[in-house]
Amino acid sequence: MTKKLFVKTFGCQMNVYDSARMVDLMRTLGFEETNSPEDADMIIFNTCHIREKASEKIFSELGRFRPLKEERRKQGRDLILVVAGCVVQAESEEFMNRAKFVDIALGPQTYHRLPEMLCRLEQKRKQRIIDVEFPAVAKFDSLPQACSNGVSSFLAIQEGCDRFCSYCVVPYTRGAEYSRSLKEIVAEARQLAETGTKDLMLLGQNVNAWHGEGLDGKPSDLSRLVAAVAEIDGIERIRYVTSYPSDFTDDMIAMHRDIPKVMPYLHLPIQSGSDRILKKMNRRYTRAEYEEIVAKLRAARPDIALSSDFIVGFPEETDEDFEQTMDLVRRVTFAQSYSFKYSARPGTPAAAMKNQVPEDVKTERLERLQALLIEQHAAYNAAFLGKETEILLEENAKKEGFLLGHTPQMQNVIIKAPESVLGQIIRVRIIKTAATTLDGELV
Ligand code: 5AD
Ligand code: SF4
């Protein structure tokens, strides 16, 4: 009988990717994925630590599985609870103390050792296992390779970060920057293309810091890697997240102009529009430098959609600093964005800074910023009304009889169409728009 595995993922796209790889790995041990935790023999929580709210939510959700586990024990069966990801990495001891019913806790660098941990758990029933090392063998080398079942796939090309922004836990939870080899990436992309992938999202915490040896043996960067992936038949669309502004080069700008498969979409977080705050965040660029990249990108690819992340209420952020963020947003204009209140993460330099901003001030600033951003997203989408565009149909929409696809600019489009056209790129006319979704009709 196959055993059932339920996975719940929190946080970033890297976590979504890692979860898929853990499912693949567990499949080799006879586990099948299920959508209902009640049926599961094993539950994996893949956690996120980037903001405080995320980790609190995990503790409360985990608590819900405790009675289920106890009930199973009474029946003489078991429910193995595994917690993975960045929360575990950051606070493994505190974590295991708070969640006594968790069997295995593993950090993002040790997923490939999960089968071995399961085996150890079976041998010594009562012992709980914690594994949060940064092993010398990168997990990329030992996890199963391709992991895609649809037309859109993620492919992690880089992990970790050496930037040490003063608010961020990633350099501590994900470790030092590590780039996979170009050969490996191209081979995996080819395999994905052969199994139906048309849309490829290259993933990394600092994706444009990717570096390695090209096929010619010379040093290579993201622009060359993307050019190599673009050669693969079947891959029609290429995107990459997340980019760091000062690692963004003219060659990367040029690839948006020169390689048609590179989609007109870029997620380039600025975080703040105030140079003073950028400096305190240890972001190594100025607002003027950011605006210059944007100007060059728009010259190279006028239809490019820009997306960004913002943090409001960073320590010492004054009204004046915040107004500069508002001003930056008005000047640049974004098609999409994510904005957050600053959240102090233990162990990061910013958590120890004086003049933390009061919660109510953060709330008010976030509301004002989000109102402006939503207005911009809506205006951006409204400009597509009545126009024709191409969408790749990726999955069934929630609404019966409708499919969901994405435009080259990464907008969601809902369209009434038969399931048989899933996986195809089709021309549509946009008939209705809103801040997050467009309605289309077949042309
Ligand atoms: N507080 C608030 N937002 C944060 N981010 C990262 N760390 C923090 C923090 N401590 C945001 C940044 C980053 C995104 C993934 O999460 O905007 O780009
Ligand atoms: Fe965190 Fe900064 Fe690295 Fe992004 S660039 S992962 S915000 S340290």
DSSP state string for 31-82: EEE-S-GGG-SEEEEEE--SSHHHHHHHHHHHHTTHHHHHHHHHTT---EEE
Ligand 1: which residue has its CA nearest to atom 2? Answer: 342
d(C-alpha 232, C-alpha 230), whole Å: 5
**What pLDDT score does 125 carry?**
64
Decide if domain 388-442 falls under CATH 3.40.50.300: no
Atom of ligand 1 nearest to the CA of 242: 18
Instruction: Using the mean position of ligand 2's atoms as its centre, give its distance from the Cα of residue 139 in Å.
Output: 20
Residue 334, amino acid: F
Instruction: Using the mean position of ligand 1's atoms as its centre, give its distance from the Cα of residue 107 in Å.
Output: 20
**What pLDDT score does 410 carry?**
95
Instruction: Using the mean position of ligand 2's atoms as its centre, give its distance from the Cα of residue 167 in Å.
Output: 9
Ligand of minimum distance to the alpha carbon of 284? 2
Question: What is the fold of 3-131?
Answer: Rossmann fold (3.40.50)
Strand pairing partners for 432? 439
Instruction: Using the mean position of ligand 2's atoms as its centre, give its distance from the Cα of residue 212 in Å.
Output: 20
Atom of ligand 1 nearest to the CA of 269: 18
Ligand of minimum distance to the alpha carbon of 162? 2
pLDDT tens per residue across span 67-107? 998 888 888 888 999 999 988 888 888 878 888 888 999 98
Length of the chain in residues, anyone? 443
Average pLDDT for 137-161: 73
Instruction: Using the mean position of ligand 2's atoms as its centre, give its distance from the Cα of residue 194 in Å.
Output: 33
Residue 354 CA neighbour count, 13 Å, CB half: 0
Question: Angle 262-265-269 (CA atoms, 0-180°, nearest 5)?
Answer: 125
Domain boundary assignment for the chain: 3-131, 139-382, 388-442
Atom of ligand 1 nearest to the CA of 167: 10
Instruction: Using the mean position of ligand 2's atoms as its centre, give its distance from the Cα of residue 330 in Å.
Output: 24
Average pLDDT for 48-58: 81
* Residue 110 in this model has a pLDDT that exceeds 80: yes
Q: Show the tokens assigned to 282.
A: 């240890």
Instruction: Using the mean position of ligand 1's atoms as its centre, give its distance from the Cα of residue 401 in Å.
Output: 37
Question: For ligand 2, is residue 161 a contact (CB within 6 Å)?
Answer: yes
For 12, residues 6+ apart whose C-beta sits below 8 A from its C-beta are: 48, 50
* Residue 386 in this model has a pLDDT that exceeds 90: yes
Residue whose CB lies within 8 A of the most ligand 2 atoms, among 165, 172, 277, 342, for a mutation test: 165
**What pLDDT score does 136 carry?**
62
Instruction: Using the mean position of ligand 2's atoms as its centre, give its distance from the Cα of residue 178 in Å.
Output: 14
For 349, residues 6+ apart whose C-beta sits below 8 A from its C-beta are: 166, 282
Atom of ligand 2 nearest to the CA of 242: 4
Range among 55-64, 74-83, 103-112, 237-246 with highest mean pLDDT value? 237-246
Per CATH, the architecture of 139-382 is what? Alpha-Beta Horseshoe (3.80)
pLDDT band (50, 70, 90) for residue 406? very high
Average pLDDT for 215-240: 95
Higher pLDDT, residue 258 or 56: 258
Residue 349 CA neighbour count, 13 Å, CB half: 9
- Closest to 243 (Cα-Cα) out of 174, 176, 365, 157: 157
For 350, residues 6+ apart whose C-beta sits below 8 A from its C-beta are: 166, 167, 280, 281, 314, 315, 342, 344
CB 82 within 8 A of CB 104: yes
- Closest to 178 (Cα-Cα) out of 116, 218, 134, 147: 134
* Residue 135 in this model has a pLDDT that exceeds 80: no
Ligand of minimum distance to the alpha carbon of 308? 1
How high does pLDDT run on average in the chain?
92
- Closest to 29 (Cα-Cα) out of 13, 44, 12: 44
Helices 359-382 and 319-332, packing angle to 10 deg:
10
> Residues lining ligand 1, CB < 6 A?
50-51, 167-168, 269, 271, 309, 311, 340, 342-343, 345
Reported in sequence order, the residue ranges of 78-225 that DSSP labels E, i.e. its strands, are 80-85, 104-106, 129-131, 152-156, 158-159, 178-179, 199-203, 211-213, 219-221
Same CATH fold assignment for domains 139-382 and 388-442: no
pLDDT band (50, 70, 90) for residue 129? confident
Q: What is the pTM of this model?
A: 0.90
